[in-house]
Structure 1
Amino acid sequence: MKMESGRDTLTRLFNRRFLPTVIQHETELSTKHETPFGILLFDIDHFKKVNDTYGHDAGDMVLRQFAEILARSVRANDYVFRFGGEEFLIVLGDVVEKEAFTIAENARKTVADAPFKIGSGKILDITTSVGIAIHDGHPDYNRTIKRADEALYSAKHGGRNRSVISPRSETVKLSA
């Protein structure tokens, strides 16, 4: 797969510009092999408070450490993106709902257990909320991202520091 200039300068993860390329690739694989792929959407809980209390340099340190945790939490065929601000998106290739939930929960727990160092010996406790959606075969992948976003919203409003699976939408048959 051709790498575009799709890297986030702060975290070195992929950025949104590379997402359509990856999703198109995963959609083709999903259709060809009749295997689903998933979207995990992460949002750092109370991130604005980090920036407001400790400054943007501290916020940047948190973002870099968070990105490193996510990058270590995925399989070799998955893609991690900085989706915007304190939101991160993971595309999980060839995954079923239960496995997607396990990957999300492992990453969430690793974040919650990690000491986030922001300089001068200061360590912050950071948590994240996660929305999970499995692609339903529809050609518009934005529907899957929207479902992951709705699940993320549920996680946030359900108390934060949790993973929520999007209800399944009407499945479209995967065919070549």
Structure 2
Amino acid sequence: MEIASLPFVDEHVTVIAAEADDVWHALGEIVERSFSAPRAAGYARLVGSPDRTASGPRPLAEGSTFPGFRVAAALPGRELALEGRHRFSTYALIFHLDHAGPGRTLLRAETRAVFPGLAGGLYRRLVIGTGGHAAGIRRLLSAVRRRSEQPRSGTGAPDNGSQQE
């Protein structure tokens, strides 16, 4: 299923006090670490996702996989689009990086998904309706913000704080 045809679920946003390239690198690290944890592989297996292991090019590029997701698009400094499917849902998580002023980047995490049938509706209620998905995405964005605002090895860039919306 084409990502654009999936129904919109939600969007979460944070402003990061770092350039888009720094946010891009941090996003790749955090996404890889978060979704490649052993519990993610177990969950992907439990719900029947075909993508259960990390494979493909690194750093993340189109065709890379990790449990529950396949990279549909990777436009450095601009967009990382992940897609996946399992017994209860077909979904996409798209990260958009936008310029927010000198030394600042707006990072948006957009979720799109369809939850077919009765089982899909129950799954949606469990994952989306309880607020679990939103909490997880907010934690992920906060981790990207913290990592982005830390000096990268050899850059000497200062840690200059942030603002979250």
TM-score range, shorter chain: 0.3 to 0.5
Q: Would you tell me which structure has more strand in proportion to its own residues?
A: 2
Q: Would you tell me which structure has more helix in proportion to its own residues?
A: 1
